[in-house]
Amino acid sequence: MNTLRLRSVSAVLGIALCSALLAATGAAADKVDARSRAIHESLLTLDTHLDTPALLSVPGWSMLDRHSVVADGSQLDLPRMIEGGLDGGFFATYIGQGPLTDAGRAAARDAALVRLQEIHQLVAANPKTFEIAYTAEDGPRIAATKKRVVYLSMENGYPVGQDVSLLTTFYKLGVRIAGPVHFLNNDLGDSSTDPKGPVWHGLSPLGKEYVKAANRLGILLDASHASDEVLEQLLELSKAPIVLTHSGTKAVYDHPRNVDDEHLRRLAAKDGVIQIYAYSDYFVPHPHPPEREAAIAALRKKYAGQRSRAQMEAQTRELAQVDAKYPIPRGTFEDFIAHLLHAVKVAGVDHVGIGLDFDGGGGVAGLEDATDYPKITARLLKEGLTPQDLAKIWSGNVLRILKKAQEAAAQDPAG
């Protein structure tokens, strides 16, 4: 989830807005030839940042039904995963940063527990279709049975509040990737995008305990959204490699959410992996014309607190009208490819993967929803990458370091 300007309203509102913008601007078709499609289908394909769980509580919205970006703004469901040859991924429990108070922390904890419960309910109700993956080995095993692979992740450490032992609870519920921060600084450390700038200059003392707890459990630490200082300290302190589940490269587009070459090299030197997102605001300049902002604010107010499929659809239509009236530049599939290829060039093919941020504000022209994943395979083959390279990018790299995190935890005397 990356929709800063919508953080104060419901997740659904944020999702619908961004997706409506995507739908309105159309897509450049990238043809997928039969050989590329066959290679794509042969690979274990995992996206490391899927915000779709935010939709599970919407009355009338089902993961089993086919939806569309144009109709309701959503970007992923079972039929579209099948069409897009996506075996699964890391389904995020995203909790936006709220007040650093006891009440705020407790509400974040409870919201995370509810969201995890919803994901478990989906899987339990459809045991022939989905399976929760707990280990690095589970992903390939589950995909071989033709079920969708559901790894769990947590975006923002806010739900642990000031008690990192809660990470054990989340681990027991299946969380295998967790990041300390989101858009704003919190009890654990500094965000890359807090307008106030750094308060801890990296991780807080509690954040360092969070790192130890994650290492003991075998949870991969996620440095997406974290400040550079946090990334540096994670690389220094963590006994396991670090992942960035959804990020981009600063050399291609200079934004605080993107990572510079020096940090990419340091990440790779510790065997870490950067998963590239498809996020327009971090690919191209994002202007804020006042008329557009006012129209969006009015819609935000109109739909605040509303959560049904019919409301999602109505809101998506109205947002598309706003976008048509006040268009702004939008990132493209070509931008995504440029970030990915740059990361491969600098960090190496063993240290790059894919985490598009669908249903969290992700999606660019030409990479609109889950049906578009095969375009990535086709294009990377055209760029000269081999099927072996693609196997790494599509899952091999992240599962390699998840395995390392789990092995390091198994050897931890305190574990």
Strand partners, 249: 259
Residue type, 134: Y
Tell me how far, at minimum, the Cβ of 27 lies from Zn ion, in Å: 22
Closest contact distance (angstroms) between CB of 42 and Zn ion is 30
Nearer to Zn ion, 170 or 183 (CB): 183
H-type alpha helices, 304-372? 309-325, 333-347
Nearer to Zn ion, 167 or 356 (CB): 356
Residues that bind Zn ion (CB under 5 A): 1-2
Nearest approach, Cβ of residue 400 and Zn ion (Å) = 23
Task: Indicate the residue among 12 and 143 with the shorter CB distance to Zn ion.
Answer: 12
Strand pairing report for 242-249 and 220-222: parallel
Nearest-approach distance from CB 14 to Zn ion, in angstroms: 11
Q: How far is CA 117 from the centre of its chain?
A: 19
Closest CB to Zn ion among 170 and 311?
A: 170
Cβ-closest position to Zn ion:
2
Shortest Å distance, C-beta 258 to Zn ion: 13
Residue burial 4-37, b: 16+ Cβ < 10 Å; e: rest: bbbbebbbbbbbbbbbbbbbbbebeebebeeebe
Q: Which of 294, 370, 361 is nearest to 17 (CA)?
A: 361
Go through 132-141 and write b for each residue having 16 or more CB atoms within 10 A of its CB, e for each that does not: bbbebebbbe
Residue 1 or 136: which CB sits closer to Zn ion? 1
Q: Which of 1, 34, 45 is nearest to 156 (CA)?
A: 1
Please say which residue, 247 or 311, places its beta carbon nearer to Zn ion: 247
**C-beta of 376: minimal distance to Zn ion in Å?**
19
Q: Is the dihedral of CA 150, 151, 155, 157 positive or negative?
A: positive
The pair phi, psi for residue 407, each rounded to 5°, is -70, -40
